[in-house]
Amino acid sequence: MSSTLDVSSRARSHDEAPRGAGQPVPRARRKKKDSGRYVAYLFLAPWFIGLLLITAGPIAASAYLAFTDYSLIGSPEWTGLDNFRRMFDDPRFYQSLKVTFIYVGVSVPLQLAFALFLAMILDRGLRGLALYRSIYYLPSLIGGSVAIAILWRQIFGAEGLLNGVLRFLGADNPPGWVSDPSYALGTLIILNVWTFGAPMVIFLAGLRQIPTMYYEAASLDGAGKVRQFLKVTLPLLSPIIFFNLVLQIIHAFQSFTQAFIVSGGTGGPADSTLFYTLYLYQRGFGNFDMGYASALAWVLLLIVGGLTAVNFIASKYWVFYGD
**Which residues are at the interface with another protein (CB under 8 A)?**
52-53, 56-58, 60-61, 64-65, 70-76, 157-159, 175-176, 178-181, 264-266, 268-271, 282, 285-288, 290
Of 165, 140, 174, 167, give the one whose Cα is nearest residue 251: 140
Cβ 30 to another protein, closest distance in Å?
14
Nearer to another protein, 1 or 130 (CB): 1
Question: Cβ 306 to another protein, closest distance in Å?
Answer: 19
Q: Which is nearer to another protein, 176 or 239 (CB)?
A: 176
Nearest-approach distance from CB 199 to another protein, in angstroms? 25
Smallest distance from another protein to CB 37, Å? 9
- Distance in Å, CB of 69 to another protein, minimum: 11
Q: Judged by CB, which is closer to another protein: 106, or 158?
A: 158
CA distances from 149 to 57, 146, 157, 192 (A): 30, 5, 12, 11
Which lies closer to another protein via its Cβ, residue 64 or residue 318?
A: 64
Min CB(318)–another protein separation in Å: 26
> How far is Cα of residue 292 from the mean position of the Cα atoms in its chain?
25
CA 160 to CA 25: how far, in whole Å? 74
Closest CB to another protein among 67 and 136?
67
Nearer to another protein, 109 or 176 (CB): 176
Backbone angles phi, psi at 63, to 5 degrees: -60, -40
| Shorter beta-carbon distance to another protein: residue 199 or 289 | 289
Rounded CA separation 139/248 (Å): 15
Cβ-based neighbours of 221, under 8 Å, separated by 6 or more: none
- Shortest distance, position 283 Cβ to another protein, whole Å: 10
